Amino acid sequence: MMLIAAKKVAIIGGGPGGLTLARLLQLKGADVTVYERDANAEARVQGATLDLHFESGLKAIKAMGLRDAFLNNYRPGAEKGRVIDKYGKIVYDEHSTDFEPMMNVLDLDSEYARPEIDRGPLRDILLNSLLPGTVVWDSQFKNMIPLGHGWKIEFRNGHTVTADIVIGADGGNSKVRPFVTDIQPSYTGIMIVQGNVGHAATTVPQASELLKGGKVYVHADGKYLHISSKGDGSIDFYFVEEKPEGWWNNSGVDFSDGRQVLAWFLSETRGWNDVWAPMFEKADSPYLLRPQYCIPFDQSWEAHANVTLLGDAAHIMPPSGEGVNLAMLDALELSERLTSGDFIDIKSAIAAYEAAMQERGTAEARSSIEMSQWMRAEDAQERLLQLFNHVE
């Protein structure tokens, strides 16, 4: 008998990891509800394009029975990139080489598959796969209190619910994490300023033309700028550099004022070509200021019988291209442990899931820190070119 038969499962957080888990559990007949702080599905602009990996994100897509929906929404060619130096010169261009998109319909089962999809359509695919009423919007987690063998969950809107099992899928600032472990992530010294420009072809035509529907990478002076086109005609950009902890509260920059943001960006990138400047002036408000935290490489905790974590809530780290993929793989493996019938109780199922999840997460955290270091190194552009050219 399935361990969670007749159990109420509450997932806190409606990102890709939480929604993936909900879909997989519903396929097994579980009683699951997702509680999401956003007011509705359109309340927040979703981030940049991401690529799903064969051994993780794509594996979960297939397990959810969403292969066709994915193929109808992925973006062939969005993976094509250009490396541009700080002076505006294109030094590597996948648009003008013999580069071919790595993914087509037949290649979805290839271990090299890395198809690109925008976060918004991915979220929509997952939302549309769920039973009506599965996601309860406007439900920002406040607290939970032990109640028998389960939990009473309190939300900031005053509502309360009960659940037998709680899954924290609420991101790097997880409010569920303290109920699982007191281990805290630490600040990495890295700050990301993220913006989005709508109607890019007319708003920032020069930058849009350089993107050509794909990606741009600029690495110079110990900082970098990554830019991605999106299927809705907007572009997303991430400007990354070292900043002291707390800088985001005392920078003196009003990030809702495009003129101030432009002046700040120009001061941070003296000597760079000004082709990117209009993006910083004309980005849609609000900017996202994202200080980067990372888990300790040796984190572990004793499993609980009625609460666990997945995705960034469990293993926050700087961006490495693996975040969503790890979250979806976490969801897949957790769903399998809870529904396989291979364990004597829920605690042992959660323990087996967490052992593999922690090992995988801490290994990737090491890699993400190493990546963030070389991407800000003096020779970052040369190393990026070697990576594109498959030079060891």
Annotated binding site: 44, 51, 119, 312
Angle, in degrees to the nearest 10, between helices 16-27 and 323-339: 30
Contacts of 184 (CB under 8 A, 6+ apart): none
Instruction: Tell me the C-alpha distance between 42 and 128, whole Å.
Output: 14
Q: What are the φ and ψ backbone dihedral angles of 161, each rounded to 5 degrees?
A: -140, 170
Bridge partners (DSSP) listed for residue 151: 146, 163
Cβ contact 8:28 at 8 Å: no
From 75, 67, 50, 48, select the one nearest 125 (Cα to Cα). 67
| Pairing mode of beta strands 165-168, 186-197 | unpaired
Binding-site sequence positions for FAD = 51, 119, 312
Q: What is the rounded distance in angstroms from the CA atom of residue 23 to the CA atom of residue 364?
A: 25
Burial class (CB in 10 A: 0-12, 13-18, 19+), 112: exposed
Alpha-carbon span 227 to 196, nearest angstrom:
10
Neighbours of 270 (CB within 10 A): 8
Kindly give the pairing relationship between strand 116-117 and strand 50-51: antiparallel
